[in-house]
A and B are shown apart, each in its own frame.
Chain A
């Protein structure tokens, strides 16, 4: 399978990896987490709660097939088969379509649990900004969700809002964040948070002779304001992490850090995998329960 790259930066190249020094034959508990998202699907295979193999692919038309494909690809080159895995947990939007899953868990719970693995156990707030929605999750020291909020009503504050703006100013979406930071002084945020109106407002500013950088700054500032607004409802506690495609946009990340007065942690593993890893950790808990260990 070849690697695919795309212009839309919150979609990912397809890839797989096996941790070389690990041997599954020595493991007591073999688990997998399968995260079927609307755009990408991920599989994480864990040995006694340690990451062993994973894969990320584009979600196809039939979720069941995608689930099998991503899991088989994760296991490629190993002699481990799906049937030998003790427990499998499905998560994400297509979680009910994982044919070999023993249970389903929401992506919110898996994201929080996975963020603990990816960033470390000090994580208390997870902000996930994807292409279509924005989730704010607060969790405890074990990665258990204390409070969450999901916004999918409005595109402002999601990757889609950025896409609209990138088209408008003709700047490649992956450069947008950087461009928005190339201003000497931060302008007033655009006053409208709704994408449709914000677009009109940005257009008007461009006509008034504002530079693209300045308009980009005003637009990013408005997005960061909006996301901050949402976050204050669930509360922000340290440590704080930003996941999802928009976490790659520095213009948003730096402004959010300033507004919230927190510095996001850096991940040890691609945070795209957080949901699948969380699911595999829930699968481990399931197996421990099954064995009477908890």
Chain B
């Protein structure tokens, strides 16, 4: 399942997409994130349970700004959460 956290506004699409089928809840991305944007949540999408990563509630409506430090307008982009994930469970829409 692909969970889209974020929003769209006049300036563009700002979503962090977590693929729950790939995320094993290892927590590496949480450690890698300098701004405390991510957290581990219970997988409440099925009765099987388990844990998965999500964008914290308080960052969902301002994700463009929360993640701005990781996204230089020029030069090489090294997004810590994306790089830290071995299973490629995290993608960004912008």
Q: Which residues of chain A have a CB within 8 Å of any CB of chain B?
A: 103-106, 108-109, 144-154, 193-194, 229-230, 233-234, 282, 285-286, 289
Contacts and interface: CB of A to CB of B under 8 A. Distances in A.
Contact of A148 (B1, B7, B13, B60): B1
Interface-central residue, A104, A106, A285, by most chain B CB under 10 Å: A106
B61 to A, nearest CB: 4
Interface of B: 1-4, 7-10, 13, 15, 44-47, 60-61, 93
A151 B46 contact: no
Nearest to B42: A104
Contact of A282 (B3, B10, B47): B47
Given A149-B15, A154-B9, A193-B10, A105 B47 contact: yes
A228 B93 CA distance: 17
Given A151-B7, A233-B15, 11 more contacts: A108-B45, A144-B1, A146-B2, A148-B2, A150-B4, A152-B60, A153-B7, A154-B9, A194-B10, A230-B8, A233-B13
A233 B16 CA distance: 12
Contacts of B61: 152-153
A286 B15 contact: no
Given A146-B2, A153-B61, A229-B8, A105 B46 contact: yes
B60 A145 contact: no
Top 4 nearest A-B pairs by Cβ distance? Answer: A149-B4, A147-B2, A153-B7, A153-B61
Secondary structure call for the A interface: mixed
Contacts of A108: 45
A148 B46 CA distance: 14
Contacts of A103: 47
A248 to B, nearest CB: 25
A109 B44 CA distance: 8
A104 B44 contact: yes
Contacts of A233: 4, 8, 13, 15, 93
A105 B10 CA distance: 33
Given A105-B46, A153-B61, A147 B7 contact: no
Interface-central residue, B8, B9, B10, by most chain A CB under 10 Å: B8
A193 B11 CA distance: 12
Contacts of B1: 144-148
A228 to B, nearest CB: 11
Given A147-B1, A148-B4, A153 B45 contact: no
A106 B44 contact: yes
Contacts of B2: 146-148, 234
Nearest to B57: A152
Given A153-B61, A233-B13, A147 B47 contact: no
